[in-house]
A = this chain, B = another copy of it.
């Protein structure tokens, strides 16, 4: 049992973070990138120690957790690379133009600067990739913000050890003390969120908790941005042509996706829309029946899952096709539309609902029934391209990531990734929590007007001494500025 952070320890963590902000934020990009790479290296080196703790605390299997460490350290290095290349700073330079109309234009140089200390509420279901060393922490450090992580109570020992490894790596690499801190305890997190030294917050978790923390953030005397990833149903829509071409693969792929990590993914496909007469019931129940029971992340999640299953099983028009390690339910679009408040509610765990649609109008109605989601998926063939072109805007309106012929579980970490969708899947849908642009959540622009070259930060100087990528008079390059 790990004790809650005391008020004195919290005050120290906040003071340390505030104290680190200037030095961390003003470090040159390559220097800060070096500190981040040191963290990645230390985590890789500590995997043999950390993974067993994670296995014990989360009941997740070793290969998954080792993959998650690799994903997390790869993510840290991606941010370091983007920092050195310079795009993470979004430098924009417009040189003076004495002839500009209606008035002469001054020299303006814009760069993104860090907001200040960031509070990260860690998730339970990815003890590395969305926890202490996860994307919120990585993107905030890359932005130049000190981070205080509020540990998830599901893996306290792992949180403490992960933070210790990272803090030691930062210290050894020369980063300012206070660049990273860890706090434990629900009330402690709320107190920290209200502290004026905290300038932004990231959160991954349930809808009620996310809404409550969001309200605290935006109604503080000084409101701060709150980025919350709350919950998602991740519907999958399958055309008849896709069934004809690869129905069995779709059945097994679906079951594999909704039971991955014991169904404890925010991108778990919660509903699979199949054309009536799909003929896949046997294949689906066979695949679901073959899924072994597995321990969930913790007792609270297990209790919530059990009551959710119980609730869903009692909804009129919802039938049980398979129960056990994976629960497969079935309904129809007309029944779903009649009881959408009951059926369209996330149930976190290894359960999903097959929804049968009767014709394309029902498919369109089903898509329209959804609020915001992290993902929406279409399984279709080339012969469906006209239909797919029509459905694309409908799916885009309801999701942050739209997939073809794949499964939403698994979120690649890359430049182009977007993880976040319209409300209620995300609070702050204009930002992502995965991918290089996630750093932007913790940066604000500053423009320097007519500042002398020697006084400017190196990234803004004429000679581009750091060789970063910049936009100069509208054109992106690594060039020097000609005045």
Seen from chain A, the residues whose Cβ lies within 8 Å of a Cβ on chain B are 22, 26, 66-67, 70-71, 74, 81, 85, 87, 92-94, 100-103, 105-106, 108-110, 113, 115, 214-215, 218-219, 222-223, 225, 382, 385, 388-389, 392-393, 396, 399-406, 410, 412, 414-418, 420, 422-424, 427-430, 432, 435, 437, 440-441, 443-452, 454-455, 457, 469, 471, 473-474, 476
Shortest Cβ distance from residue A72 to the other chain B in the assembled complex, whole angstroms: 10
Shortest Cβ distance from residue A27 to the other chain B in the assembled complex, whole angstroms: 12
By a CB distance below 8 angstroms, the chain B residues around A103 are 67, 71, 410, 412
By a CB distance below 8 angstroms, the chain B residues around A446 are 396, 399-402, 418
Inter-chain contact B451/A402, CB cutoff 8 Å: yes
For the complex, what is the distance from the CA of A100 to the CA of B74, rounded to whole Å? Answer: 11
Identify 20 new A-B residue pairs, CB closer than 8 A, beyond the known A415-B474, A430-B444: A22-B393, A66-B102, A81-B474, A105-B412, A106-B403, A106-B412, A109-B416, A214-B218, A215-B218, A218-B223, A385-B455, A400-B446, A401-B449, A402-B448, A402-B451, A403-B450, A415-B473, A420-B444, A430-B441, A432-B445
For the complex, what is the distance from the CA of A354 to the CA of B168, rounded to whole Å? Answer: 49
Q: Which 9 residue pairs across A and B have the least CB separation, nearest first? A: A418-B447, A108-B416, A70-B102, A218-B218, A94-B416, A92-B416, A403-B449, A418-B445, A110-B416
Number of copies: 2
For the complex, what is the distance from the CA of A403 to the CA of B96, rounded to whole Å? Answer: 13
By a CB distance below 8 angstroms, the chain B residues around A87 are 471, 476
Inter-chain contact B437/A445, CB cutoff 8 Å: yes
Q: A389-B455, A401-B446 are in contact. Are A93 and B410 (CB under 8 A)?
A: no
By a CB distance below 8 angstroms, the chain B residues around A473 are 415
Q: A422-B444, A446-B399 are in contact. Are A26 and B405 (CB under 8 A)?
A: no
Shortest Cβ distance from residue A308 to the other chain B in the assembled complex, whole angstroms: 22
For the complex, what is the distance from the CA of A341 to the CA of B71, rounded to whole Å? Answer: 50
Q: List 19 A-B contacts (CB under 8 A).
A: A67-B102, A92-B437, A93-B416, A94-B412, A103-B410, A106-B403, A110-B415, A110-B417, A110-B435, A385-B452, A385-B454, A389-B454, A392-B455, A400-B447, A404-B451, A404-B455, A405-B450, A430-B441, A432-B445
Inter-chain contact A382/B452, CB cutoff 8 Å: yes
For the complex, what is the distance from the CA of A243 to the CA of B47, rounded to whole Å? Answer: 61
Inter-chain contact B70/A400, CB cutoff 8 Å: no
Shortest Cβ distance from residue A411 to the other chain B in the assembled complex, whole angstroms: 10
For the complex, what is the distance from the CA of A398 to the CA of B356, rounded to whole Å? Answer: 57
For the complex, what is the distance from the CA of A389 to the CA of B457, rounded to whole Å? Answer: 9
For the complex, what is the distance from the CA of A443 to the CA of B418, rounded to whole Å? Answer: 13
By a CB distance below 8 angstroms, the chain B residues around A469 are 476
Q: A219-B219, A455-B389 are in contact. Are A412 and B108 (CB under 8 A)?
A: yes
By a CB distance below 8 angstroms, the chain B residues around A67 are 102-103
Inter-chain contact A214/B223, CB cutoff 8 Å: yes
For the complex, what is the distance from the CA of A403 to the CA of B450, rounded to whole Å? Answer: 6
